Structure 1
Amino acid sequence: MLPRVLEPLVDLVLPRVCAGCGHPGCLMCPRCAALLARPRLATPRRHPDGFPPTVAAAAYAGPVRPVVNAFKEHGRTELAAPLGAALALAVVVVRAGAGSAGPVLLVPLPSSRAAVRERGRDHVAELTRAAVRELRRAGVPVTAARLLGRRGRVRDSAGLDARQRRANLAGTFVLREPVRRGSGLLVVVDDVVSSGASVTEAAAVLIPAARRHDTPVVAAVVAATPRGRPVPVVGPGPGVFTVRER
């Protein structure tokens, strides 16, 4: 990270603009940042069988969409901080909904090798690390583990409906490590939920392993594609997380 004394010089050459609305002078303006702190239940239109309870910090719409895409597809790695804070908020809310006050284990959804090569990075792993930092600052006992791996190749999901996406992903995820006793609440984490196929497939692999220790499996994401009126959830209370420019 550049020393703060150099940041004004960088801004002269590459002026900062809000990744959501293009407002000059900031990484994210307050209005767009506020949109990343509106937790809701993710409700795919065709709810897949086995879709776990999933909380999104925001709707994948409006300014949130370009913010996520700027981080994911256009190398705006500095957005990991506000997006990680949003993911942490979703984790806190889904943890409360599960009635858990114990430790939390974040399980990032693994990206394909092709996607990692194309982007030059694993963006979900970056979000997970940022969320862990935020959660620990808030006093939440949290760790992260790459329990899931991928096998085989899947076709591009663009243009596929929910049923086709689920069939396309069937058997993609495998358990790389056992779920250990005392791991705490297992939270699958990802950037966006749309059809719910990926999260459902991941949960299908984790649930049998977690059941041996009576460990629930839920999910948390930065944003979810909106389906009608959002389903409200009980938040963690004011002042726990603030999505802000770093």
Structure 2
Amino acid sequence: MGGLGAALTDLVLPRTCAGCGVPGPVLCRRCARLLTRPREATPRRVPWGMPPTVAAGAYAGPVRPAVVAFKERGRSELAGPLGAALALAVAVHAALLPGRPVLLVPLPPTRAALRERGRDHVRELAVAAVAELRAAGVDAAEARLLARTGRVRDSAGLTVAQRRANLAGTVTARAAPLPPGAVLVVVDDVVTSGATLTQAAAALAATGAAGDGPVLAAVVAATPRPVPRDVAAVSPAVPPGR
């Protein structure tokens, strides 16, 4: 019945790729491939205490509308492909710490965001990522250790310093019994300034939840660092034949 329902839905509302808009899967292969390029996420001004963060791709091109469609426009079916991308980012950390259980700690939404969207989209990503990691043989689980407190302004249009001040003290953590040697990986959809991830890592460290191990982070995509205009405008001369 589920397959029949999906087929009928496609007849009424044909599916299109959330990234490029072509008819077909919710995220076509070409767009999904952009989220298979894990890299270190380094904001322009890395805040002190920001956890080592891996992003599956850049928050640019078709990736940007795909994430926005999932986050803001209710396309929850994107939890699958975007969760797989998040799993890839987490797997980079897991590969460097083999044999240790990995706990994905989703960043919770603010109260205003939860009211507006009616869902915790980061937790949806975490659940999908855990399933992907387990299927790949990684000892992974979700750990809801974080909470939001106070009011947070919309970060749109804020400077890096204003973002940090806006988030100061708004992320708290609770202590909970964890598997021995567990690696905590804070997960989110996008990292821009790194302020929220830094707050989360500090909160977890303050509770001693990570034990002697580091607090790490993983995201679906990272906002690319701007290229200085004087560098972008100059292309190096390449001798012929090289």
The equivalent residue for 1:161 is 159
1:160-183 deviation line (CA, Å, top 9, x unaligned): 111111111110011233364616
Q: How does 1:115-194 map to 2 (within 5 A)?
A: 115-178=113-176, 180=178, 182=180, 184-194=182-192
Q: CA RMSD in A?
A: 1.6
| C-alpha distance 177-208 of structure 1, shift in aligned 2 (>3 A) | closer
The one-letter code sitting in structure 1 at the alignment partner of 2:66 is: V
Shift of 1:104: 0.5
> Highest CA radius of gyration, 1 or 2?
2
Q: Cα gap change, 1:179/1:48 in structure 2, threshold over 3 Å: closer, same or farther? A: farther
- AA aligned opposite 1:207: A
Q: Is the 8 A contact 1:100 1:185 kept in 2?
A: no
Residues 1:32 and 2:31 aligned together = yes
Q: Partners of 1:33 and 1:95 in 2: how far apart?
A: 22
Q: Which residue of 1 aligns with 2:20?
A: 21
2:49 aligned partner: 50
CA distance in 2 between counterparts of 1:3 and 1:26 reads 17
Give the Cα–Cα distance (whole angstroms) in 1 for the partners of residues 14 and 179 of structure 2.
49
Following the alignment from structure 1 to structure 2, what is the Cα–Cα distance between the partners of residues 210 and 152? 23
- Identity in percent: 65
For residue 237 of structure 2, what is the aligned residue in structure 1?
none
Whole-Å Cα distance in 2 between the matches of residues 212 and 66 of structure 1?
34
State the Cα distance separating 1:184 from its structure 2 match: 0.5
Shift of 1:225: 0.3
Contact between 1:83 and 1:222, CA under 8 Å: does it hold in 2? yes
Paired residues, what number? 227
Normalising by the residue count of structure 2, what TM-score does the alignment of the two structures yield?
0.89
The amino acid that maps onto 1:42 is A
Aligned counterparts, 1:215-230, within 5 A: 215-227=213-225
Deviations 1:203-229 (A, max 9, x none): 111123347721210000000001158
1:197 aligns with 2:202: no
Q: Is the 8 A contact 2:204 2:210 kept in 1?
A: no
Unaligned runs of 5+ in 1: 230-246
Q: Paired residue for 1:109, among 107, 111, 115?
A: 107
Unaligned runs of 5+ in 2: 228-242
Q: Which has the higher contact order (CA 8 A, sep 6+)?
A: 1
Residue 202 and residue 27 in structure 1: after superposition, are their counterparts in 2 closer, same or farther (change >3 A)? same
Say which SS state the counterpart of residue 215 (structure 1) adopts: coil
